[in-house]
Amino acid sequence: MQTDSPFDSRTVSPKRSLSRRAVIDQMRLVGLEIVMILLVISFLVPTLWMISSSLKVSTEIFVTPITWIPQDPQWSNYVRIFEILPLMHFIYNTVLVVFFAVLGTVISSALVAYAFARLRWPGRETWFALLLATIMLPEVITLVPRFVLFRNFGWIDTFLPLIVPYWTATTAIYVFLMRQFFRGIPMELEDAALIDGASRLRVLFQIILPLSKPAIATVAVFALIQHYNDFVNPLIYINSQDNWTLALAVRAYNDAYVSNWELVFAASTVMLVPVVILFLIAQRYFVQGITTTGFGGR
């Protein structure tokens, strides 16, 4: 006679099933972390090789196998790049252009995003869809019309073509990011301020923007990297060496000192350092802004 036992081997306790599932999830997470670490290393290898090569002599750069740590670090390479070209002047030009371009990008994007997120007006969604459609428009299509326009304005060989257009919210993705964040702010805060007699601009600058620091930091970091690394626009609109930015200066090192790669790598490292430092400082706000806007599924 056969009886059913509560300890039948075919029955699995819920606790054992949950623990097995937890182990599988943990193994999957560890595997994902290993893959991500390998990807990060693969992206960092060229950068680390560039920094290492900037401290070498020419004959030591392309030897095989690669020597990651120079036998005799040539710190004088960084001194030479400042002696060959007025690099500090190019850094000043770059800071000037980037500061006003980023400032214009943040302010104009905030104004347009506020209009799309908080104001009600006919055709709002249609115009917003048209604005987003401009993301698919390659910048090279408007290159010739913009050059003709700026030439007629007399702006060629000045910083104005690199700054003024960004005070008109020309980058739709920044408007989208700020609009998505603004829509998550409770309307009650704005309604209370309007009842107390505050204007729309006062509501924007004293209520909405202080609550939108992550979105502002995200847009500012994206815009800074965009303008800091911009090479095509300065190449087209800047003629004289006095108005060069760092991107043009690094290209000049590459053209004139192609046999001295250590100088090219040293100039590239000097250009890389400020962006890395800025990202490390603004990383917390940057990640928070990405996760709380459209990219994070809000």
**pLDDT tens per residue, range 120-163:** 889 889 999 999 888 888 888 888 999 999 999 999 999 999 99
Domain membership flag for residue 1: no
**pLDDT tens per residue, range 23-66:** 788 888 888 889 989 888 888 888 888 888 888 887 888 888 87
Domain membership flag for residue 5: no
Do 100 and 195 share a structural domain?
Answer: yes
Do 168 and 277 share a structural domain?
Answer: yes
136: its two tokens = 């698919």
Domain membership flag for residue 8: no
| Other Cβ atoms closer than 10 A to 12 | 10
Give the count of alpha carbons within 13 A of 6, CB side only: 1
Do 99 and 19 share a structural domain?
Answer: no
**pLDDT tens per residue, range 193-222:** 888 888 888 888 888 988 888 888 889 988
Q: How far is CA 3 from the centre of its chain?
A: 69
Range with lowest mean pLDDT among 9-13, 77-81, 204-208: 9-13
Which CATH number does the domain housing residue 139 bear?
1.10.3720.10
In angstroms, the CA 155 to CA 142 distance is 17
Sign of CA dihedral 90, 96, 99, 102: negative
Q: What is the mean predicted confidence (pLDDT) over 268-286?
A: 81
Give the count of domains, the chain: 2
Do 135 and 45 share a structural domain?
Answer: no
pLDDT attached to residue 295: 47
Do 93 and 40 share a structural domain?
Answer: no
pLDDT attached to residue 8: 52
Between helices 87-118 and 246-256, what is the axis angle to 10°? 140
In angstroms, the CA 68 to CA 48 distance is 8
* First CA to last CA distance, the chain: 62
Domain range for 32 is 15-53
pLDDT class for 97, splitting at 50, 70, 90?
A: very high
